[in-house]
Amino acid sequence: MAIYHLSHGLISRSSGRSAVQSVSYITGMDLHESRRNLKIAYKNRHSDIAFSDTLAPEHAPQQFHDLGVWNLLETFEDDYAIKRFPYCLESRDKYLNSAQTAQTIIMALPRELEVGVAKELVEEFALTRFVSRGLIVTYAIHDDEGNPHAHLQISRRAVGEDGELSWAKDRDIVARKSLLVTRKLWANLTNQYLEREGFAARITEKSYADLGINLEPTRHRGWVGDKLLGMGINSYVVAENAVIFARNKEMLIERPFEILP
């Protein structure tokens, strides 16, 4: 059945991660990060990746339309630090070691939708919410059995009409109020596709509390939990969900009318 899950994050050098490493992980493609001279490969991710692509504004140079753009974006942050802090080496080093280089989103995909239709949905979401602002998006659809989901990696800087990266990062798109808009758009578009494909299922970005339903939400299991479950190993998330299911079942028996909208 269709479920709602959308989680947001940021890639920061302070955690030791780079945008190149992250996009290699979600797409399963071998890449090279020039700033640290790293060869990056995640061969084990190829088995469940159905589709991946990089989307950029039409006015963006051709080099911004493939995976190599993430290496360019990492390099841009170094150039930016030198230009912004030409004399203060301490400030420059601090920026170089803590720069945020991408925004990330993971969404659960409705099991009802064929993977080709899910691809349409993910692309429309990315184009409508992010590429329309001049941002660059790489997406990867992982067609895990029982847990289909999509990864989005989004640039922090937009591409201007002149084909140059913006000096200022798009800070509004990661603000709390904007994240709420992002969550709602995903729910609305998903429901449109479910309706188009003839399914009655619908999802909502609203919590149980917002809907007036006195139930505890379960934790998102994720692909790691699914892999472990397939091996006969219960992860801590599976164990937690079993407890939550039991509590919710008791609540439905004792106070069945409390969950009615």
3-state secondary structure of 6: strand
Domain ranges of the chain: 6-196, 208-259
Q: What is the mean pLDDT of the chain?
A: 86
Q: Is residue 199 pLDDT above 90, yes or no?
A: yes
Asked if the model's pLDDT at residue 239 lies above 90, the reply is no
Report the amino acid identity of residue 245: F
Check residue 210 and give its pLDDT: 56
Q: Is the pLDDT of residue 256 over 50?
A: no
Identify which of 151, 157, 251 has the alpha carbon closest to the alpha carbon of residue 208. Answer: 251
pLDDT value of residue 49: 92
Residue 205 has pLDDT above 80, yes or no: yes
**Phi and psi based region of residue 232 (left: phi greater than 0; alpha: psi -120 to 50; beta: remaining):** left
Rounded to an integer, the average pLDDT of 82-104 is: 97
Q: Given pLDDT bands bounded at 50, 70 and 90, which one contains residue 101?
A: very high
Residues 6 or more apart from 18 whose CB is under 8 A from it? Answer: 11, 33, 35, 36, 38, 74, 101
Higher pLDDT, 216 or 256: 216
% pLDDT > 90, the chain: 73
Residue 86: Cβ-neighbour burial (10 angstroms; 0-12, 13-18, 19+):
exposed
Whether the predicted pLDDT of 121 surpasses 70: yes
Q: Please state the φ and ψ torsions of residue 220, each to the nearest 5 degrees.
A: -70, 125
pLDDT for position 234: 60
Indicate whether 247 pLDDT > 70.
no
Neighbouring residues of 63: CB distance < 8 A, sequence distance ≥ 6? 69, 72
Task: State which CATH number among 3.40.50.720, 3.40.1080.10, 3.30.930.30, 3.30.360.10 fits the domain covering 6-196.
Answer: 3.30.930.30
Question: Position of tokens 């601090």?
Answer: 94
Instruction: Tell me the average pLDDT across 231-237.
Output: 61
Supply the pLDDT for residue 206: 83
The answer for 31, left when phi > 0, alpha when psi is -120 to 50, beta otherwise, is: beta
Q: What angle do CA 158, 130, 80 make, to 5 degrees?
A: 20
The answer to whether 92 and 82 are in contact (CB under 8 A) is: yes
Report if pTM > 0.75.
yes
Lowest mean pLDDT among 37-46, 80-89, 137-146, 156-165: 37-46
Q: Which two tokens stand for residue 117?
A: 């239709």
**Residue pLDDT, tens place only, 155-164:** 999 999 999 9
Amino acid at 11: I
143-196 pLDDT, tens digit per residue, is 988 889 999 999 999 999 999 999 999 999 999 999 999 999 999 999 999 999
